Amino acid sequence: MRSLWLEKTVRFFFFLCALSAVVISIGIGVTLLGEALRFFARVSIIDFLFGLTWAPHTLPSGEDVGFGAVPLFTGTILITLIAMAVGLPCGLMVAIYLSEYATPRMRNIFKPVLETLAGIPTLVYGFFAITTLAPFLRRVGEVFHLSLSTESALSAGIVMGIMVLPYMSSLCEDALHRLPNSLRECSIGLGATASETIIRVLLPAAFPSIMAAFLLSLSRAIGETMIVVMAAGLAANLTFNPLEAVTTVTVQIVSLLTGDQEFDNAKTLAAFGLGFVLFILTFFLNILALQGVKRHRRIYG
């Protein structure tokens, strides 16, 4: 009977652990929503979501103006797109190389290097963007008679792409490596070359995991703040020109929350409004990805 009692206690303990994760997530959501609602009581949600000017301040009359978050959204999208355009294909190709082509010796050299890259603080990446990449891009720009500001979406995006590359490559590499060798043999046995096998068999088979890797990288990029502060700036320009300075949602959350500590002025509350938008966004991204994986299951089983 002793073991039965123990079994029950252990089971209850693990249930509590699982429950706490759910409770905490809901708690975060509710807090965020509460503060966001307080914010939207002061600034109209329409002005916030569709306003084109971001220069938050309160007029002496007590009116809150300049809370149009569109420039932050466009800045986030622009930098994230650049980062993904750099990080995803490179990450995937590195993964393919390591899993399918590299000799064990090469793997033993490359994998630790990538893991180190993943461990570098993003501050250092930002530093790299300012001191190395931005000047380089500027000089390249000059050749084509383009003027780049020191801070630009391009350099922040590229460096952010380099930042997500190790995540992407290591997750995809795991996914490819996990596939049964029989799949490769079978394809090779039918006369396929290594590259045909990768494109037609292995990548489709690993698609759900690649999708997950993609999503994780994407959320890292959206959430990344330090690189943007250093390399893309704080100026909320409404532009899709990657050569200009832009800012992102997370950067503005930080700058809204630092300094002013009272939680009831519009500027501080705006941070929660922005946070809430991010929350919703990642939520839908996850649903989208799940949908993709489900569809893939239907087709590929």
Out of 21, 189, 259, 262, the only residue in the binding site for other proteins (CB under 8 A) is 189
Strand ranges for the chain from DSSP E:
54-58, 64-67
CA 207 from chain centre, in angstroms, equals 19
Q: Which two tokens stand for residue 123?
A: 């501050």
Bridge partners for 58 per DSSP: 64
- Which of residues 139 and 200 has its CB atom nearest to other proteins in the complex? 200
Percentages helix, strand, coil for the chain (3-state, rounded to 5) are: 75, 5, 20
Which of 80, 187, 252, 268 touches other proteins (CB under 8 A)?
187
Q: Which residues contact 213 (CB under 8 A, 6 or more apart)?
A: 91, 167, 168, 171, 172, 175
Nearer residue to other proteins within complex by CB, 97 or 127: 97
Site for other proteins in 145-184 (CB under 8 A): 180, 182-183
Q: Determine contact, residues 41/64, Cβ cutoff 8 Å.
A: no
Only one of the segments 52-60, 146-154, 163-171, 194-202 lies at the binding site for other proteins (rule: CB under 8 A); that segment is 194-202
Query: Cβ of residue 188: shortest distance to other proteins, in angstroms?
Result: 7
Q: Is 193 in the site for other proteins (CB under 8 A)?
A: yes
By CB under 8 A, residue 192 contacts other proteins = yes
Tokens 């190790």 correspond to what residue? Answer: 166
Neighbours of 32 (CB within 10 A): 18
For residue 219, give Cα distances in angstroms to 165, 203, 225, 252: 13, 22, 12, 17
Q: How far is the CB of 50 from other proteins (least distance, A)?
A: 44
Per CB under 8 A, the list member of 130, 134, 159, 201 interacting with other proteins is: 201
Nearer to other proteins, 33 or 183 (CB): 183
Out of 115, 142, 185, 260, point to the residue binding other proteins (CB under 8 A): 185
**Site residues for other proteins, window 58-117 (CB under 8 A)?**
103
Count, residues near other proteins per rule CB under 8 A: 23
Run of H or E including 269: helix 266-300
Q: Which one of 90-98, 123-131, 186-194, 264-272 is the stretch in contact with other proteins (CB under 8 A)?
A: 186-194
Question: Where does this chain bind other proteins (CB under 8 A)?
Answer: 103, 180, 182-183, 185-193, 196, 200-201, 204-205, 297-301
